[in-house]
Chains A and B, each alone.
Chain A
Amino acid sequence: MLQDIIDLRRIETIYEGEKIPVIYDINLKIKSGEFVAIIGPNGAGKTTLLETINGLLDYISGEGFVFRKEIKKNKSQIRKEIGYLIQNFEIDPLAPFLCKDIVMSGRTGKIGTFRFTTKKDWDKIWYSMGLVGMIDFANRPIGKLSGGEFQKILIARALAQQPRLLLLDEPFSNLDYASKIQIETLLNRIHEKYKITIVMVSHDLNFVPVGCNRIIVMDKGRIIMDDKKEKILHSNKINDIFKNGGRK
């Protein structure tokens, strides 16, 4: 039997200085090797849920476990095993970073403090860049990439740490159609080949990757539906929630 990689029980998360929780009553179990999409309209609490899972935000009630370790007590340990992609990341075109350094920076936590990047680490970095088809971009400035290329480098960055879990926040946002297809194919391939657990957040129902077999629907800070992809996509309720905003 596959073990639960994520186990959240009655989780409630609130932003500092606010009184109303952004997400509440969250009960969620995700098994190893699953590819899950969390969908919902803007402001549903999807990003907050991802940031609660990797401990960037503290929950104020309930219990949360990732890799069977309590999130609050093992944040930094857990994060070393989680590849994270943040949403709407805009980069200054003059930013002084090369692609290879950005991918390397994803491995920083894994390498550990007081340790230097070894040849073995660089092998993993080149491998990740090759996997996303960006090896020729290693010495390019990060600010000069297109939206799709930049997203691929960020995915390579997440893969460089050899994660057991990938948390992807809106991986298709701000991309043209061709780039969306490329990223979708890439995610399917990563999931199929390496069986990494992927939890992806999206507000766009049109781009749920083929490899994704489970959809969780969030609205107003709660999980309101959690089922197989086909069932969710064909339900009437989904139309009411998105008011056709998610479908084109």
Chain B
Amino acid sequence: MIELPLLFLIPSIIAAVLVGFVCSTMGTFVVRLNLSSIGYAMSHAAFAGAAFGLMITIDSTITALFFAFGTALIIGPLAEKARLQSNIIIGFLFSIMIALAFIFLNYVPGEAAKGSALRILWGSLFSVDYNDLLLLLFLSFLILAFVFVFYKELLSVMFNRKLAESSGVNTRLFFFAVLFFTGFAVSLSLKLVGGLLVFALIINPTSSAYQFFYDFKKIMIFSPIIGIISCLVGFYLSLLTDFPIGASIVIVSAIFFAIAIIVSPKRKKGNGKRNILKNQI
């Protein structure tokens, strides 16, 4: 185990909590809207963007954000109208973004910077600085406000976009808002979790919460809780074993998901009705 004073770890612990919150809160929308493929593409675009930032020696968070938003703006309209199948999006963009990221990383100047380059691949316990924390805090408040103010619109869109549109909700606005916040969350989480694994933190906690509840409100509460616990346990595991933190967090969240699938009351045969009644409360 790595022996470190607690004070030294506090910024990283706060970052882990915030990363868990922003990623898994956005996960509830991404999973329900079937945006996994586009989110996956965005997370790899953010990774390529961060690599680009390191290459031209500017803040990698800024370039990650640009790449993620650029991808959302290009693929969003295509995916929205189902003009491009999700497997094509993944196949094309995943490979091209990874290829670009590796090319950019190859040209990162200086040996020290090469270390940072590797850190954006699989994340690092100590790569989060004060500015990153502030940005994560700002994003957390933005997402909280977004969900609180627009909960009824979001619920309507999550149930069925066409019905939401027909009752006067501007569904396009909410679709792109979800993409925007997901891109933001992925880009800010890169340094801690790493570009290759960050999207698992969006999908796994939400998918775990989905196994237990029929009430969207409860999923909105428990998905971030599972996300935060995954990040904290993963963080501790990383300290304990010296595993890369991104890998630790993702493994913990995947174990939670596997347990959720096994014990899910929704999936149990025979006593479905009893479980439904239990979940009504």
Contact assessment for A117 and B167 in the assembled complex, using a CB-CB cutoff below 8 Å? no
- Digitize B120-164: 1 where CB-to-A-CB distance is under 8 Å, 0 elsewhere: 000000000000000000000000000001101101101110111
Contact assessment for A161 and B276 in the assembled complex, using a CB-CB cutoff below 8 Å? no
Contact of B168 among A76, A104, A139 (CB under 8 A): A76
Answer whether residue A124 sits at the interface, using C-beta atoms and an 8 A cutoff. Answer: no
Q: Secondary structure of the B side of the interface?
A: helix
Known: A108-B156, A143-B214. A84 touches B167 (CB 8 A): yes
Contact assessment for A110 and B155 in the assembled complex, using a CB-CB cutoff below 8 Å? no
> Which of A23-31, A59-67, A90-98, A231-239 sits within the interface?
A90-98
A163 nearest in chain B by CB position: B167
Interface residues on B, range: 20 to 34
Contact assessment for A82 and B166 in the assembled complex, using a CB-CB cutoff below 8 Å? yes
Interface residues on A, range: 35 or more
Contact assessment for A86 and B168 in the assembled complex, using a CB-CB cutoff below 8 Å? no
- Most A Cβ at <10 Å: residue of B32, B163, B166, B170: B166
Answer whether residue B81 sits at the interface, using C-beta atoms and an 8 A cutoff. Answer: yes
Answer whether residue B216 sits at the interface, using C-beta atoms and an 8 A cutoff. Answer: yes
Contact assessment for B168 and A110 in the assembled complex, using a CB-CB cutoff below 8 Å? yes
Complex interface residues of chain A between 12 and 53 (CB less than 8 A to chain B) = 16
28 A–B pairs (Cβ distance < 8 Å), ordered by A: A79-B167, A83-B167, A84-B167, A86-B160, A86-B163, A89-B160, A94-B266, A95-B214, A96-B210, A97-B214, A98-B214, A101-B155, A101-B216, A105-B152, A105-B156, A105-B159, A105-B163, A105-B167, A108-B155, A108-B156, A108-B168, A111-B152, A113-B150, A117-B152, A139-B281, A141-B215, A141-B279, A161-B167
Apart from A86-B160, A98-B214, what are 9 other A-B pairs with CB-CB below 8 Å? A80-B167, A89-B160, A97-B215, A98-B280, A104-B155, A106-B163, A109-B169, A113-B150, A140-B276
